[in-house]
Amino acid sequence: MRKILSAILAASMLMAAAPSALAASFEIEPLVTPTYERVGNFSDGRAAVKQNGKWGYIDETGKMVVKPKYDWAGPYSEGVTVVAQLQSETYQEGTEYEYTMERYELYLLDENDAEVRLYADQYDENDAPLDYSVDEFTAPIEQAGFSWFCQDGVVFVDGHPFTKAGKEIKAKITDEYVQTCTMTGPCVGGVIPMYADSIKEGAGQAFFMDASGNITRRFPIYRESNITCVYAPEQDRIVAQKGAYDDEWNWVGGWGAMDLNGNWVVQPVYDGFRYLMSGRFFCDGLWTVYNTQGRYGAVDKNGKVVIPLQYEFMSSFTEGMCAAKKNGKMCYLDLSGKTYQPGALGGGEAKADAASQFNGGVAPVYVGADGQAYCVQNVPKNGVLPAISGTQNLAREVYFPDYVEGSNEYGTLSAVGNIIAIKENGKWGFSKLTFHLDLPDESAMDKWAYDEVCKAIEAGLVPNTLQNQYRSNITRADFALLLTEVASAITEKDIETLVKSTTGKELDELVAAHPFTDTRSEAVVAANALGILNGYGNGKFGPYDTISRQDAATMLLRAATAIKADALEGWGDKIAAANVQFADGAAFSGYAKQAIEVMAALDVMKGTGNNRFAPKETYTRQQSFMTVYRLMTQILDEAA
């Protein structure tokens, strides 16, 4: 990598030509030979595979780590997973009233792969084996089990919270008759959202509890407030449902969001919403909602309708885009509501029948008229998101495993990841995919930023997930990702190796320790471990907060010293010769003063005009990409 970066640096110093136009492409590397009847997605280093009618698990080398013996297998997360065995019982056998009932016995595979039968307090005070019924009143386990996973050490299974050892976490409610308690959403930041029936005179109550069962917050009794469901706080908002039955037993109510003080900031008028399973609602700052007419739109954290509710379908936003459907055809919307069409393989626009959200700069679409599924890239060209040639060679089921041809039933919308399921000759396996995107159009950012942003992309410093929204303010989490990518690229070491050499601990170990309650991002944890970014204290990191210019300078200097411990010493002469003096230097925070002077002396960060640095102004993505490129050139120039 260093030779590549050095060559790019040399070329940039010799000529100031415009960046070359890279063609979008992808590489596919076989990982697990297609031999299975069906497979799930890789998560936590493992994937469920079906062999001889039963499910087990393999690791990323293809080794079978849990032998196939289950009738259903969920995704791994935080070292554990939920599995099920189907049982059938026949009643009144031999009579005209004979009937058969089926149920799934639910188990947890703990961190040692030991099988633990799950028991829960269901309708009385006595624990009973937890089963999932198979009948006309319940969703298929494949659909319901999609949300059964572990987050922040709490496993969500069919409305019950469990520890990673398989023990139910019971709410410590005293002096009140409780018929049932139900977990209403995933644990986020150690907060478990719950609802208790019959807490007072037949009325229920929503509440939060911690992983020990302690009640940390009670919401008003249902009959006093009509709050029937809450989710754990996300970005200082509590998504909740408010409503009641009228005199004719018709439900009247809707979904909205409260601030942390319980005030409605997004009024509870929406019939439903979309969200990411990890418990994120305001993705890229917008929450996808729909009304009683089934029309979708998006609102911000303060309830302002940013995208009118006029679409037949919308996904959650990722990477500045969401998939949407209007007049029977799929398109994409950016954060302002501007429409982009998926590109056709041969160029121009495609009339897609299904489309999924973006992940890593790419998203799958399906064009029924051609019978082809393929990927488009998040690099708009004249209102079109270009197709990536070659991606159509993967089976449609790879991208849309549950799609029902000719219908609106998309099933689970798949995001294309680094490892993807592959189907060949009716059998399933896995491959690794690496995507290379087109360079952005100049219109995507300010002209003064274009050349250096493109050079940063060409140098491999900007991950695909960040190659969008160039003029928007960068968040703390995204800056962490950017700086860890830079550190990895320059040192030619993956981030896991860098963390291990710095801390003596594995990155997975540090993530599992939950250093922050509001994010589990590996990039954030890695940047914190390397001393690049700190939290606010009390377990808070603020992943979606923006950063100031002085914070950017501070983090850039920390990144430089993390990459090269003696960087400051090597730059001593340059710094002294520059003798940086800004007119607004009195406004610099003490912690940032040295970093601002160093970054300015090296021309990594410059002033905003009139000899001012503007330390507290926000920092954009395009500025971030430019400055990491400049930082890279300084580090490589010193090492040359």
In this predicted model, what pLDDT tens digit does every residue of 556-593 receive, in sequence order?
999 999 999 888 888 999 999 988 899 999 999 999 99
Is a pLDDT exceeding 70 seen at residue 415?
Answer: no
* pLDDT score recorded for residue 7: 37
Is a pLDDT exceeding 90 seen at residue 156?
Answer: yes
Mean pLDDT of 211-220: 95
Q: What are phi and psi of 502, to 5 degrees?
A: -85, -40
Six token digits for residue 524: 């954030």
Which of the four pLDDT bands, split at 50, 70 and 90, describes residue 637? confident
Q: What are phi and psi of 132, to 5 degrees?
A: -120, 120
In this predicted model, what pLDDT tens digit does every residue of 595-621 receive, in sequence order?
999 999 999 999 999 999 999 999 999
Q: What angle do CA 548, 567, 544 make, to 5 degrees?
A: 25
Six token digits for residue 449: 């930023």
* pLDDT score recorded for residue 413: 53
Which of the four pLDDT bands, split at 50, 70 and 90, describes residue 16? very low
Is a pLDDT exceeding 60 seen at residue 412?
Answer: no
In this predicted model, what pLDDT tens digit does every residue of 305-331 receive, in sequence order?
999 999 999 999 999 999 999 998 999
* pLDDT score recorded for residue 1: 38
Burial category of 90 from C-beta neighbours within 10 Å (exposed 0-12, middle 13-18, buried 19 and up): exposed
**For the chain, what is the total number of helices (H) and then of strands (E)?**
14, 37
Is a pLDDT exceeding 90 seen at residue 408?
Answer: no
Is a pLDDT exceeding 90 seen at residue 22?
Answer: no
Which of the four pLDDT bands, split at 50, 70 and 90, describes residue 640? low
Q: What is the pTM of this model?
A: 0.90
Cβ atoms < 10 Å from Cβ of 251: 10
What is the SS3 assignment for 614?
coil
Is a pLDDT exceeding 60 seen at residue 234?
Answer: yes
Is a pLDDT exceeding 70 seen at residue 41?
Answer: yes
Which of the four pLDDT bands, split at 50, 70 and 90, describes residue 629? very high
Mean pLDDT of 157-171: 95
- Nearest-Å Rg of the Cα atoms of the chain is 26
Residues whose CB is less than 8 angstroms from the CB of residue 586 and which lie 6 or more positions away in sequence, other chains included? none
In this predicted model, what pLDDT tens digit does every residue of 70-87 receive, in sequence order?
999 999 999 999 999 999
Element (H, E) at 128: strand 127-129
Range scoring the smallest mean pLDDT among 251-260, 348-357, 410-419: 410-419
Which of the four pLDDT bands, split at 50, 70 and 90, describes residue 361? very high
Q: Ranked by mean pLDDT, which of 113-117, 145-149, 353-357 comes out on top? A: 113-117
* pLDDT score recorded for residue 209: 97
Range scoring the smallest mean pLDDT among 222-226, 434-438, 494-498, 584-588: 222-226
* pLDDT score recorded for residue 166: 96
- The full DSSP string for 275-342 is -BTTTB-SBTTBEEEE-TT--EEEE-TT--EEEEEEESEE---BTTEEEEEETTEEEEEETT--EEEE
Higher-pLDDT residue of 414, 244: 244
Six token digits for residue 297: 């739109």
Average pLDDT score, the chain? 90
Is a pLDDT exceeding 90 seen at residue 3?
Answer: no
Pairing of strands 419-424, 384-385: unpaired
Which of the four pLDDT bands, split at 50, 70 and 90, describes residue 121? confident
Residues whose CB is less than 8 angstroms from the CB of residue 94 and which lie 6 or more positions away in sequence, other chains included? none
* pLDDT score recorded for residue 223: 80
